[in-house]
Structure 1
Amino acid sequence: MTETPVEATDLKAQYTARVAADLERNAKEQERLRGEIDALKEQLLALQQDHTVLVNMQQALGAASTPESASVAEDVAAPSVPQQKTATKAEASKQSRRKKATTPPRGSKTAKKSASKAEATTATKPTLVGLIRRHLTEQSEPRSAAEVAAALSQAHPDRRIQTTVVRTTLEGLVAKSNAQRAKQGSSVYYTAPDTQEPTTQSQDEAQPAQANS
Structure 2
Amino acid sequence: MSENQISTTELTSQYVAQVTSDLERNSKEQERIAADIAALQEQLLALQHDHTVLVNMQEALGGARPATGTARTVPSVPSQATARTKQSKEAKPKRAAATGAKKTAARKTEAKKPAAKAAKATTQPSLVDLIRGHLEAQTEPRSAAEITTALTAAHPERTIKTTVVRTTLENLVARSSAHRNKQGSSVFYTATTEPAAEPEAAAATS
TM-score category by the smaller chain? Answer: 0.7 to 0.9
Checking the alignment, whether the CA contact within 8 Å between 1:143 and 1:190 is kept in structure 2 is yes
The residue that corresponds to 2:142 in the other structure is 143
CA offset digits 1:145-180 (Å, max 9, x no partner): 111100110110000011111111111111111111
Please give the alpha-carbon distance, in whole angstroms, between the structure 2 residues aligned to 1:93 and 1:122: 29
Checking the alignment, whether the CA contact within 8 Å between 1:178 and 1:193 is kept in structure 2 is yes
The residue that corresponds to 1:60 in the other structure is 60
Aligned residue among 58, 72, 86 for 1:97: 86
**CA-based RMSD:** 3.3
SS in structure 2 of the partner of residue 4 of structure 1? helix
The residue that corresponds to 1:118 in the other structure is 117
Please give the alpha-carbon distance, in whole angstroms, between the structure 2 residues aligned to 1:98 and 1:51: 26
Q: CA deviation at 1:98?
A: 5.0
Checking the alignment, whether the CA contact within 8 Å between 1:59 and 1:103 is kept in structure 2 is no
Q: Where do residues 155-194 of structure 1 align in structure 2 (5 Å cutoff)? A: 155-194=154-193
CA offset digits 1:30-64 (Å, max 9, x no partner): 11112112111211121111111111121123244
CA offset digits 1:60-110 (Å, max 9, x no partner): 2324449xxxxxxxxxxxxxxxxxxxxxxxxx9645435998999xxx999
Q: Where do residues 28-39 of structure 1 align in structure 2 (5 Å cutoff)? A: 28-39=28-39
Q: CA deviation at 1:20?
A: 0.6
The residue that corresponds to 1:196 in the other structure is 196
Please give the alpha-carbon distance, in whole angstroms, between the structure 2 residues aligned to 1:93 and 1:27: 53
Point out the structure with max Rg over C-alpha. Answer: 1
1:50 aligns with 2:39: no
The residue that corresponds to 1:23 in the other structure is 23
Q: CA deviation at 1:113?
A: 6.4
Checking the alignment, whether the CA contact within 8 Å between 1:173 and 1:179 is kept in structure 2 is yes
Change (3 A) 1:63 1:199: farther
Amino acid at match of 1:179: A
CA offset digits 1:106-154 (Å, max 9, x no partner): xx99987664443222101111111111111111111111111001101
Q: CA deviation at 1:11?
A: 1.9
Q: Sequence identity of aligned pairs in percent? A: 53
The residue that corresponds to 2:6 in the other structure is 6
Please give the alpha-carbon distance, in whole angstroms, between the structure 2 residues aligned to 1:197 and 1:25: 40
SS in structure 2 of the partner of residue 177 of structure 1? coil
Checking the alignment, whether the CA contact within 8 Å between 1:181 and 1:188 is kept in structure 2 is yes
Please give the alpha-carbon distance, in whole angstroms, between the structure 2 residues aligned to 1:48 and 1:190: 30
SS in structure 2 of the partner of residue 160 of structure 1? coil
Please give the alpha-carbon distance, in whole angstroms, between the structure 2 residues aligned to 1:197 and 1:135: 21
